[in-house]
Chains A and B, each alone.
Chain A
Amino acid sequence: MSVPFDQEIDCSGLACPMPIIRTKKAVDGLQVGQVLKMTATDPGSVSDMNAWTARTGHELLAQEQEGGKYVFFIRKYR
């Protein structure tokens, strides 16, 4: 899937809660409307990123799984 993004972080190999903490720090640094691509290998990140975006109000544009990688595209909402 080709979703345009403005910044990319790799949380591969990181365990809970580091992917959401790294994601929060990265999104904090974006302008509203910009998109972050986050890659993780923690299977729990699928549920966690959905919960994180639901709670924080940022938009989970797309998510995909390729091999052992979970990729998320998040648009900063506010």
Chain B
Amino acid sequence: MTEERKKRVAIIASHGTLDMAYPPLLIATGAVAMDMEASIYFTFYGLQILKKGGADKLQVAPLANPAMPMPVPNIVGMLPGMTAVATGIMKNMFKSANAASLGELLELARELGVHLVACQMTMDALGIKREELIDGLEYGGVATLLEFCSQDAITFAF
């Protein structure tokens, strides 16, 4: 049987909050399980996911976030410590649902062979050094992303 080329999934991760870091990692690891080839392109705040020990430090902000599971008025959400409180509550909810942590999913993605690509330009602009990021990354620019996408990749952006 001839091996057909694997379907591809390309995901852009440009946010550094807990809620926006989950979908890229869930979809990428799921894609590999579906016999697809997956790549996540980390740019802007998404680079925070790749910082050593950074994935499990990401937070979710209650300020200007009307969709929090426990609604927090902005006048309360702006108080010092409220982001940490909201983050703690949300992490506990995910733990109760037996969901993997972001750090666990990132490690799993690496183990499964997901291409983890750090955007060199935004790293330079934001002053992020390679040694600040986890091992096993690829570094590239828009051509790296587009070349991967050009081979019939399904694309997602977060």
Contacts and interface: CB of A to CB of B under 8 A. Distances in A.
Interface of A: 13-18, 20-21, 23-24, 51-52, 55-56, 78
Give chain B's interface residue range (CB within 8 Å of chain A).
10 to 19
B48 interface: no
A74 to B, nearest CB: 13
Contacts of B97: 15
Q: Is the interface of A mostly helix, strand, loop or mixed?
A: helix
A51 B26 CA distance: 16
Contacts of B30: 16-17, 20-21
9 contacts: A15-B98, A16-B30, A17-B29, A21-B30, A21-B33, A21-B112, A24-B33, A52-B33, A52-B34
A72 to B, nearest CB: 14
Given A24-B34, A52-B34, A56-B35, 16 more contacts: A13-B98, A15-B98, A15-B100, A16-B99, A17-B29, A17-B30, A17-B33, A18-B100, A20-B30, A21-B32, A23-B33, A24-B33, A24-B35, A51-B34, A52-B33, A55-B35
